[in-house]
């Protein structure tokens, strides 16, 4: 069903130079006028969302997204808070358990997060908490096994409005302030401590890397974890300086007036085709939760990410725990898939990650992983093995 809430028809988020060239075709003042307008309708048609999807499974998945996740304004049911649940078998199987945690009420009604765990044999007292990125949720069975094999209890959280935690009245991934996620992280850490863990690694990918880094920066010595591991953290927009300095702040200002306004993104499928087994990757996941094309984002999401990046850099010196910042050895401008997409970050700029990551805390370890994709842990086998080696070496070194 078409979405008629205010929005702008601007291809903005997260990449890349060829998208920037589209934006540059608009005079700057005209672009800003479009961004600051709160009256222009934005239609998210099913035909748009289904563009260039090649299998019947994809059509089914995207139809589900349009009917449910992208049209929460059409939900007419009750918005009831859900009580905390006991541990139960998770949808991943393979020894994974999950529980829902009621996080009270936010700007769009009741919210919850979902904690997933896979325990290691024995009682080492060591654990890791993994926080996913944008347009994402936890689905990587292999990750839990890797940590368990080294005696580390594995936990992952599906943040509010993501994956297992998404409710029909919520627009996916929407947020007013990235620190809203701190409550979800706190709830997860409380459970991890109740399970008897005292040495805790906090880990995050992409926006999850930004959120977890901001968490340890704002909490300082009270962060309650032993170290931070980040995989391609979203520390800077992958846009030219002009748009970083003018367009992003303009959207941030506009978000104060119209936080739910939508900003459409380009229909690039290079990254999803690099991940999905149906195309060129190794992975299978729920495409209603990790969509083939990134959906339109809210203006408040843009503003929240931008503010979080600035807050992190302002408070980076307050980080008291050891920090690992991992990134791909190279970036690539790509929208349609090519073989090169399998060995480069096509979402963020690794140079930005290295430059800003070096400012996180005292003497952070900044490591380039050769031929890594944006999510290093979803890269081909030998690349993710190198990423895991880097992680476990860092944990071992900082545990002494």
Largest CA distance in the chain: 63
pLDDT score recorded for residue 265: 82
Eight-state DSSP code of residue 339: G
For residue range 147-182, what is the model confidence (pLDDT) as tens digits?
999 999 999 999 999 999 999 999 999 999 999 999
Using a cut of 0.95, tell me whether the model's pTM lies above it: no
255-282 burial, b at 16+ Cβ within 10 Å, e below that, comes to: beebbbbbbbbbbbbbbbbbbbebebbe
Eight-state DSSP code of residue 239: S
CA atoms of 67 and 101, how far apart (whole Å): 26
CA atoms of 45 and 73, how far apart (whole Å): 15
CA atoms of 298 and 255, how far apart (whole Å): 8
CA atoms of 129 and 262, how far apart (whole Å): 31
**Crossing angle of helices 299-315/207-219, nearest 10°?**
50
CA atoms of 112 and 13, how far apart (whole Å): 26
CA atoms of 210 and 276, how far apart (whole Å): 25
CA atoms of 139 and 161, how far apart (whole Å): 16
CA atoms of 198 and 371, how far apart (whole Å): 35
Can you tell me whether residue 276 is helix, strand or coil?
strand
pLDDT score recorded for residue 65: 53
Can you tell me whether residue 325 is helix, strand or coil?
strand
Check if the beta carbon of residue 262 is closer than 8 Å to that of residue 42: yes
Check if the beta carbon of residue 200 is closer than 8 Å to that of residue 326: no
Q: How many CB atoms lie within 10 A of CB 333?
A: 16
Contacts of 98 (CB under 8 A, 6+ apart): 87, 88, 89, 90, 91, 114, 115, 116, 117, 164
CA atoms of 14 and 348, how far apart (whole Å): 7
CA atoms of 216 and 213, how far apart (whole Å): 5
Q: Which residues of the chain have pLDDT under 70?
A: 1-69
pLDDT score recorded for residue 190: 98
Q: In terms of Cα–Cα distance, which of 206, 284, 285 is closest to 13?
A: 206
CA atoms of 339 and 280, how far apart (whole Å): 9
Place of tokens 């999510």: 375
Place of tokens 């919850």: 112
Torsions phi, psi for 237 (to 5 deg): -70, 140
pLDDT score recorded for residue 64: 54
Which ranges of the chain would DSSP assign to H, the alpha helix?
17-24, 28-36, 46-49, 56-64, 141-148, 182-194, 207-219, 241-242, 248-257, 270-275, 299-315, 350-357, 381-397
Report the DSSP pairing between strands 88-89 and 97-106. Answer: antiparallel
Can you tell me whether residue 323 is helix, strand or coil?
strand
pLDDT score recorded for residue 330: 97
CA atoms of 274 and 361, how far apart (whole Å): 33
CA atoms of 190 and 186, how far apart (whole Å): 6
- Whole-Å CA distances, 5 to 34, 176, 255, 262: 15, 17, 13, 7
CA atoms of 363 and 369, how far apart (whole Å): 19
Q: What secondary structure does DSSP assign to 331-371, as a single string? A: B---SS--GGGGGSBSSS-HHHHHHHHTTSSSS-EEEEETT
């Amino acid at each position: 069903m078409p979405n008629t809430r205010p929005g702008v028809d601007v291809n903005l988020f997260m990449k890349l130079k060829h998208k920037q060239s589209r934006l540059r075709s608009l005079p700057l003042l005209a672009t800003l006028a479009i961004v600051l307008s709160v009256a222009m309708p934005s239609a998210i048609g099913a035909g748009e969302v289904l563009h260039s999807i090649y299998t019947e499974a994809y059509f089914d998945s995207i139809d589900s997204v349009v009917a449910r996740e992208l049209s929460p304004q059409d939900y007419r049911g009750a918005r009831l808070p859900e009580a905390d649940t006991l541990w139960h078998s998770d949808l991943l199987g393979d020894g994974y358990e999950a529980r829902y945690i009621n996080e009270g009420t936010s700007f769009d009604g009741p919210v919850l997060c979902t904690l997933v765990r896979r325990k290691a044999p024995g009682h080492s007292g060591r654990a890791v908490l993994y926080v996913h990125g944008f347009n994402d949720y936890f689905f990587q069975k292999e990750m839990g096994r890797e940590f368990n094999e080294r005696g580390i209890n594995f936990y992952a959280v599906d943040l509010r409005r993501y994956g297992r935690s998404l409710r029909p009245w919520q627009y996916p991934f929407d947020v007013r302030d990235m620190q809203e996620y701190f409550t979800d992280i706190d709830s997860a850490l409380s459970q991890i401590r109740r399970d008897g863990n005292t040495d805790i690694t906090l880990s995050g990918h992409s926006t999850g890397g930004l959120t977890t880094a901001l968490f340890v920066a704002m909490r300082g010595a009270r962060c309650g974890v032993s170290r931070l591991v980040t995989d391609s953290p979203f520390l800077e927009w992958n846009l030219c300086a002009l748009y970083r300095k003018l367009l992003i702040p303009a959207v941030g200002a506009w978000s104060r007036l119209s936080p739910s306004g939508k900003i459409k993104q380009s229909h690039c499928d290079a990254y999803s085709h690099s991940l999905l087994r149906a195309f060129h990757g190794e992975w299978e996941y729920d495409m209603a939760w990790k969509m083939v094309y990134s959906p339109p984002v809210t203006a408040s999401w843009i503003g929240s990410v931008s503010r979080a990046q600035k807050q992190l850099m302002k408070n980076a010196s307050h980080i008291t725990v050891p920090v690992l910042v991992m990134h791909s050895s190279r970036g690539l401008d790509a929208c349609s898939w090519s073989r090169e997409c399998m060995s480069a970050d096509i979402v963020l700029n690794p140079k930005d990650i290295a430059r800003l990551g070096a400012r996180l805390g005292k003497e952070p370890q900044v490591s380039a992983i050769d031929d890594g994709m944006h999510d290093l842990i979803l890269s081909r086998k030998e690349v993710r093995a190198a990423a895991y080696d880097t992680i476990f070496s860092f944990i071992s070194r900082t545990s002494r």
